[in-house]
Amino acid sequence: MRALLLTTLIGAFAAVGFSVHCDPTPPEPTPKIERPELIPWVEINSPVSAITRWGRVRPDIEFRDPDLSYLEHCIDALPDWSTVADRVIVLTQPQHIDTLYPALQQRKPDGLRIIGGVKLYTGLKGDFANSSGWQSVADQASRIVAITGTNIVVLDGETLLTPFHTGSESIDFARLRESLVALKKTGVQFWWHPVRILANTPSVPDREQLTARLVATISEVLPDSVFLTAYTAWHGYEDNDHGEIDLRNKMIALVGRDRIHDRYFPTPDGYWYFRNSDRKRTNTTAETIAEINRREDGGVIDLYPGSEAWVAVAREFALQRDALR
């Protein structure tokens, strides 16, 4: 009866020109999109050498001084990077730990934290499971943390792992597991490059399985490890034939989203130049910012423009920082 009366009243109001407003169901709140943390990254393998010592690679960069040292070149960019980042990664060779990091600590902008790191090839003597080598790396890591005050060290195994990635050498995983205990005892968090799942190749048909096993072995001993991936690094990564998105998802399934970083290679002209005169399409700074802005899963993005473009790209990010979401 009450329902019939209500219907009659609504009809009567409508007939004389009144409208009846019924509040719709309130909309779902818009989910907050978390902006990724940006961490610029540079390698300073020979701090006192002139930046031009090894020959020019990029045609689009002019240095303020052709005799500028790698150290001074690195420091030049830090004020600009500090406008978009709270931390920067600076890698070096083990023999430069005690000269490079004190200089950076003394001259970096206030509030900017230095994350140090070392190349592994020298310390491990070409053997990724080398027990005495990992003890040496542990000692190096402790020295870096004592200087920087940041309890994170990046381990760069790019050269060392190339034979493993190309199938010419294997890794003794049982021995590696035992050797990594030296790192665990330091209490330092380690970020690994380039330890990630890689696609199979005709010459290494089980590379995906082997690289996943390496990630899992490290995670077993050092469960707070972080893996610096490069699945998103190149322009058009979503459409390439290497299955980067699928591999990234497998890494997330294996270790979790918060334990991988993505990476971009921002450069002034959107190309990465190699010493054999080849080049490969990457992203300009503006394109990189657009990529960052469309990300909806937060996390951490490493920015690796290369040593020569380090200052130029820092300046571009500082000038375009308002474009970051």
User: What would the pLDDT profile of 251-285 be if each residue is shown by its tens digit?
Assistant: 999 999 999 999 999 999 999 999 888 999 999 99
Question: What's the rounded Cα separation, in Å, for the pair 20 and 12?
Answer: 10
Tens digit of each residue's pLDDT, the chain (325 residues)? 444 444 443 444 344 444 444 445 555 555 556 789 999 999 999 999 998 877 788 888 888 887 899 999 999 999 999 999 999 999 999 999 999 999 999 999 999 999 999 999 988 989 999 999 999 999 999 999 999 999 999 999 999 999 999 999 999 999 999 999 999 999 999 999 999 999 999 999 999 999 999 999 999 999 999 999 999 999 988 877 678 999 999 999 999 999 999 999 999 999 999 988 899 999 999 999 999 999 888 899 999 999 999 999 999 999 999 999 8
The sign of the torsion formed by the CA atoms of 136, 140, 145, 147 equals positive
Domain count of the chain? Answer: 1
Q: Over the stretch 55-78, which tens digit does the pLDDT of each residue have?
A: 788 888 888 887 899 999 999 999
Identify whether the C-beta of residue 79 lies closer than 8 Å to the C-beta of residue 104.
Answer: no
Prediction pTM value? 0.89
Write phi, then psi, for 28 (nearest 5 degrees).
-65, 140
Q: Shortest CA distance to 118 belongs to which of 149, 79, 90?
A: 90
Domain-located, residue 4: no
Domain-located, residue 108: yes
Q: What b/e sequence results for 184-197 when a residue is b if at least 16 CB atoms lie within 10 Å of its CB, and e otherwise?
A: eebebbbbbbbbbb
| Matching residue, tokens 């003597």 | 125
DSSP string, 226-267: EEE--TT-STTGGGSTT-HHHHHHHHHHHH-GGGEEEEE-B-
CB count, 10 Å around CB of 67? Answer: 11
Domain-located, residue 16: no
What are 295's two structure tokens?
A: 């990300």
**pLDDT for 20:** 40
**pLDDT for 297:** 84
CATH at 118? 3.20.20
What are 239's two structure tokens?
A: 């459409």
Domain-located, residue 124: yes
Domain-located, residue 19: no
Supply the range of the domain harboring residue 272: 32-323
Domain-located, residue 15: no
Single-letter code of the amino acid located at 221: V
Domain-located, residue 277: yes
Q: What is the DSSP letter of 124?
A: H
Question: What's the rounded Cα separation, in Å, for the pair 81 and 84?
Answer: 6
Single-letter code of the amino acid located at 284: T
**pLDDT for 18:** 41
Q: Shortest CA distance to 186 belongs to which of 222, 216, 160?
A: 222
Question: What's the rounded Cα separation, in Å, for the pair 44 and 316?
Answer: 21
**pLDDT for 65:** 87
Q: Over the stretch 226-249, which tens digit does the pLDDT of each residue have?
A: 999 999 999 988 877 678 999 999
Domain-located, residue 21: no
Bridge partners (DSSP) listed for residue 303: 40, 264
CA separation (Å) from 172 to 69, 91, 176, 312? Answer: 40, 27, 6, 43
The sign of the torsion formed by the CA atoms of 233, 238, 244, 247 equals positive
What are 91's two structure tokens?
A: 């890698």
